[in-house]
Amino acid sequence: MRRKSTLAVGALIGALAAGPLIGAPSSAAPATTRPPAAAPATFTHPGVLVGTAQLDLARSKVNSGAQPWKGAFDAMMASKYASLSRTPKPRAVVECGSYSDPDHGCTDEREDALAAYTLSLAWYVTRDTRYADKAIQVMDAWSATIEDHTNSNAPLQTGWAGSSWPRAAEIIRYTYNGWPKDRIDRFAGMLRNVYLPKVINGSRSNGNWELSMMEAAVGISVFLEDKSSYDKAVATFRARVPAYIYLKSDGDLPRTAPGSGLDTRDKIIKYWQGQTTFVDGLTQETCRDFTHTGYGLSAVSHIAETTRLQGQDLYPEVADRLRHALGFQATYELGAAPPSWLCGGSVKRGLGPVTEVGYNALHNRLHYDMPHTQQLTEGRRPSGSNNLFVGWETLTHAENPS
């Protein structure tokens, strides 16, 4: 059963005025260790965001009617993404401008990719082959059609859709025998030739762009068993996270990503949305809005989760940054009034359903005390989808030790 937090939002506000230390580790928290630098000798499948043990736990919880998993599953099955009457809408060229304007296939692609993942989860839990076959239909439709992504948002769009596709493909390929080899090969070719080139070299845009692109690159690399691209994506990720989430140990100013061109104080402050006071857990986009911040934090959690499944656990390396960032954003998402030094005294809330994966890893596995993140996560269960690249993480990751 879900634990109920007894924290009250009002009790949180006073402690934040001088710049909070959010999510201090418990005495059981492990020392940070540096994981292997290279891709695994043998990739684990399914192994993109969710693995066999996680899926088995979710299935057993749903089948026994346990909460919050049963409620999360029911919400997923009631969504449009689980519909067996879904008709995929592939395009040869998906054109996405800023904020998906124009939207020539952008929403259709993201939603079809999320649907494929949703249907793959439905298959795993129910063992109803109709869901696996529908997931295959969606994946086959796109692999037979898409050739490119264009316009200014092409890298981000590719990252979002490219994060969902390999999750679905991993589950179907390795748990269902009804996907013909030639179609699997065609789908792999789509990921290798259409998606991977758009994301693997990263981005000098806002941090959530590059983190989402690296999530796609890591997941695709696992499905393709491409050690070179996996290593490249992980290296970019490890450089970007310290440039996205600030810790006091970084010094007076945040760290910068290689090649960013942020070589003066003024440039760095402008890049950090004009923020001049830096505290543990502040992100590069906190003062932009919490929605985009949530995209970045979600991608950090997802990449760390995939590397853990692949035997290269990056959670200890990013734990301090991620736990502080989740706690800092959760505090204000819960309603605490921001002090005047933070974003001019005003924040744009809307973090989204993005805390479950990181909270489970850091609190339940690594034993960090994360009261604000716990209150937000448990209070919003079951988490749904952000309709971009996040979906059903209460079902897959709540209280999941695997």
Q: Which tokens hold the place of 177?
A: 């025998």
Question: How many other β-carbons are positioned within 10 Å of the β-carbon of residue 250?
Answer: 15
Contact 383, 393 (CB under 8 A): yes
HSE (CB half, 13 Å, CA atoms) of 309? 26
Contact 347, 334 (CB under 8 A): no
Arithmetic mean of pLDDT, 112-129: 98
pLDDT given for residue 342 in this prediction: 98
| Averaged confidence pLDDT in the chain | 92
Buried b (16+ CB within 10 A) or exposed e, 366-392: bebbbbbbbbbbbebbbbbbbbbbbbb
Nearest Cα to Cα of residue 297 among 239, 252, 352, 247: 352
| pLDDT tens digits for range 45-79 | 999 999 999 999 999 999 999 999 999 999 999 99
Phi–psi pair at 385, nearest 5 degrees: -125, 150
Q: Which tokens hold the place of 144?
A: 């037979």
pLDDT given for residue 30 in this prediction: 43
Contact 333, 290 (CB under 8 A): yes
Angle at 329 between CA 327 and CA 335, to 5 degrees: 105
Contact 299, 211 (CB under 8 A): yes
pLDDT given for residue 338 in this prediction: 98
Q: Does residue 1 register a pLDDT over 60?
A: no
Residue with tokens 């009250």: 8
DSSP letters of 57-120? HHHHHHHTT-TTHHHHHHHHHHSGGG-TT------SEEEE-GGGSSEESHHHHHHHHHHHHHHH
pLDDT given for residue 69 in this prediction: 98
Contact 286, 293 (CB under 8 A): yes
DSSP letters of 338-364? PPTTSGGG-------S-SHHHHIIIII
Architecture of the structural domain at 10-397: Alpha/alpha barrel (1.50)
| pLDDT tens digits for range 149-182 | 999 999 999 999 999 999 999 999 999 999 999 9
| pLDDT tens digits for range 129-147 | 999 999 999 999 999 999 9
Q: pTM value? A: 0.92
Segment among 37-41, 124-128, 139-143, 185-189 with least mean pLDDT: 37-41
Angle at 132 between CA 218 and CA 136, to 5 degrees: 65
